[in-house]
Each structure stands twice: as C-alpha cells, then as structure tokens.
Amino acid sequence: MHAAAFLSILAVAVGASALSVLTPNENEGWASTGSNTLSWERVSTDPTNFTVVLTNTDRSVLPENNQLLAAFVDATSATSVSIDAPSGGFNVGGSYRVNLVESQDDLDTIYAQSDEFDITAGTSSATDSTVSSGSATSSGSATTTGSATTTGSATTTGSATRTSLTVSSSATAADASASSSDSSPTSTTNAAQSHKAQFSLLGGLLLLGGFLA
C-alpha cells in the first residue's frame, strides 16, 4: 500500500511539469565510455535548473541507485548537455533511466524521467548545443594583411626620381647647348673685325706703292 502511494506521488510529480527528457531513450542509448548527450524540452513555467541522476532497478547492473551525473544544470541556456562517463565507465546493461530531480538532497522531487534505455560497450563523443567555435576559420581573414605588399609602390616613387633626374640632366644639356649658341655671335664679330683690318692694311700698301712709283 505504501509502495502504491509512493508511485502515485511520483506520477503526480512527473505529470505536474512539462519538462521532458528526449535522449537517451529506448532507441538512442548511451555508450559505456566517453561523453553522452542528455537532451530535453521545457516550457517557461518549468524549473530553471535540475540535477541529473542515473537509476536502474537491477542492482547487478547498477549496485548503487541514483548515481549523480550532473548537479544544477541550467535548463534555460540550452536544451542539451554532455554527460561524461565515470573514470571506470558505466556498467553495460539495460533498464537504465535518467531522472531530472530538484537536487541531490531531494531525489523524490522528479521533474522528468527518461524512457528505459541500454548502455552498450563503446566510446561516444557527444556534442551539445554549446559547441559553436568552426567560424574560427574566420581567422583565415588574417590573410588580408597581405595588402601590406602595396607598399611596394615605393618603387614607383624611385622611378619618378630617376625620371626627374633624367629631365634635369636633359635640361642641363639644353642649357649648355643654348649657352654655346649664345657665344657664337661673339666669334662671328671677332672674325669680321679681323677681315676689316686686313683690307685696311692691303689698301694702305697699295697707296704706298702708287706714291713710290
């Protein structure tokens, strides 16, 4: 009779909350080692946190009932969490259940209970909803620093300098040629004066010859 009353209270406690366990279930069990996924669904009126315990009615499989798996899990920030197997691994077997309870000190207040599921030999690597770090690949954008190669345009500045030097040299040559052109009239004037002196001397000699004759 006491057992029947306890089961009735348990049923009421479970039925009073919309919180429910999605995995593990009868089709998706856990592995004996590694990380396994516990997922759930809730509504706004459900508790904001819970404690997870593992149960089994078969003491040959689970000698100590209500094995603590995780305490005070935040039910609002995610809908799944990774549960690590103990160092020695879970015992392989069936008829396991996961209970979401109020706390380790209050195992009788059960918010939700999973279906029965099996734990099989093997290793699992679960990923819960908090795993989101692959955009780090966005760090590949660091290759944009390659734009620093645009500083190579400094070579253009160098060519401009060389060009200006060439122009300056050309201008200097032009000035030199211009100065030599400017000096040519002076040479012409000197030559004309020399010819005039020669004609004057020749005329004087002719006059002197005519006088002596």
34 pLDDT exceeds 90?
yes
Provide the pairing of β-strand 67-74 with 49-56. antiparallel
* 42 contact partners, CB below 8 Å, separation of at least 6: 18, 19, 20, 75, 76, 79
- How far is Cα of residue 42 from the mean position of the Cα atoms in its chain? 34
Q: How far apart are CA 118 and CA 22, in angstroms?
A: 15
Q: Who has greater pLDDT, 145 or 201?
A: 201
Query: Which of the residue ranges 73-77, 119-123, 150-154 would you say has the lowest mean pLDDT?
Result: 150-154
* Distance separating the N- and C-terminal Cα atoms of the chain: 184
The domains of the chain, with CATH numbers, are: 2-126 (2.60.40.2840)
206 pLDDT exceeds 80?
no
Residue 195 is predicted with a pLDDT of: 54
Note the pLDDT tens digit of each residue in 94-116: 999 999 999 999 999 999 999 99
Task: Please answer whether residues 80 and 38 qualify as being in contact, where contact means their C-beta atoms are separated by less than 8 angstroms.
Answer: yes
Note the pLDDT tens digit of each residue in 136-149: 333 333 333 444 44
pLDDT tier, 18 (very low <50, low <70, confident <90, very high otherwise): confident
Residue 155 is predicted with a pLDDT of: 38
Residue 127 is predicted with a pLDDT of: 57
- The residue-averaged pLDDT of 126-140 equals 37
Global pTM exceeds 0.95: no
